[in-house]
Amino acid sequence: MGAGDGAAEQSRLAAERVQRLKRQLDQAERATRSWDAGAVGERLVADRLSRLIPHGWFLLNDVHWPGRPKANLDHVLVGPGGVVVVDAKNWTGEVSVSSGVLWQGRFARTQSVDGALAQCAAVASVLAPPHRRFVRPLICLAGQPDLFGITNSDVAVAGADRVVDAVLALPAVLDQQAVVGLYAHLGQQLTLEPAAASPAVKSISVNPLTVTSLTAQPATGRLTAAGPARSGQTAGRPGPRQITHGRKSKAQQHAASGMTRLMFLAAFVVFAVYVLPYWGR
């Protein structure tokens, strides 16, 4: 093989590397856009859920998933209706609940429903047995404001504009003292760093209290517990009604990681285009 043939082969191989890197770059860009959309959805849902505070509900944002050190829970509500574990989604396209099944377009999102149940079981596992039956799962869809439905496994699915009424429609099962106690307990358990938490939580099977009583009708004025004044709170209990874990949310972490990969891949594309064709000459 002559010098010219060798140079041509090197150029061909360099071009193939560039195409592979470009494909990886496109994939990383798509993933970053998806993570950004997820972060926007979490913020929108958190804003909607904060409207429950005047009705006696407490809100925990972006806290640890018990038993899974690298996973987070988007939102956990504690109030007169019990404990509601909210999984925020920002799905596009047509989303519906039909015959007890959650659909996005023509795809059944059973994995998301199972994930909501797993989150519910994880939170229930850190509660005393008498309170475990008061933990309920809910999927809140930021991009589907008017949606509401119940799946066959009793997972409520609510759009951002209907989630507040759905939670307020839950029958009251806890008095104010129990609400404050559960909030303080979960505030400690779910905001601990994984290394500081108690040993691995055993997986338990939870049959959440049925949420078929959730309706789209407002329940204004039915639940009005105001919660304790900050000046009179018991020592050791979390003060603010909203707790956000100090570290970045999972969507923000993924976005930062995606940007790092984008920069790395872009550097390799430049290297492949301008350096490899002349390598070894």
pLDDT band at 98 (very low <50, low <70, confident <90, very high): very high
Assigned domain for 18 exists: no
Q: Which of 158, 78, 74, 61 is nearest to 126 (CA)?
A: 78
The answer to whether the CB of 180 falls within 8 A of the CB of 198 is no
Find the mean pLDDT for residues 168-184. 96
C-alpha dihedral (228, 230, 57, 48), degrees to nearest 10: 150
∠ CA 96-105-252, nearest 5°, is 85
Find the mean pLDDT for residues 166-177. 96
Q: What are the tokens at 105?
A: 């377009």
Percent of all residues in the chain with a pLDDT value above 70, rounded to a whole number = 58
Host domain of residue 49 = 37-214+233-247
Q: Which of 195, 219, 275, 242 is nearest to 78 (CA)?
A: 242
What pLDDT shows up at residue 18? 72
Assigned domain for 83 exists: yes
Q: Answer yes or no: is pLDDT of 103 > 80.
A: yes
Q: In this structure, which amino acid lies at residue 113? A: V
What pLDDT shows up at residue 213? 36
Assigned domain for 121 exists: yes
Assigned domain for 21 exists: no
pLDDT by residue (tens digit) across 248-276? 455 555 555 666 666 666 666 555 555 55
Structural domain count, the chain: 1
Q: Answer yes or no: is pLDDT of 233 > 60.
A: no
Assigned domain for 224 exists: no
In order of 22, 161, 185, 241, 245, the CA distances from 179 in angstroms are 53, 25, 10, 12, 21
Assigned domain for 41 exists: yes
Assigned domain for 206 exists: yes
Q: Which of 129, 165, 133 is nearest to 146 (CA)?
A: 165
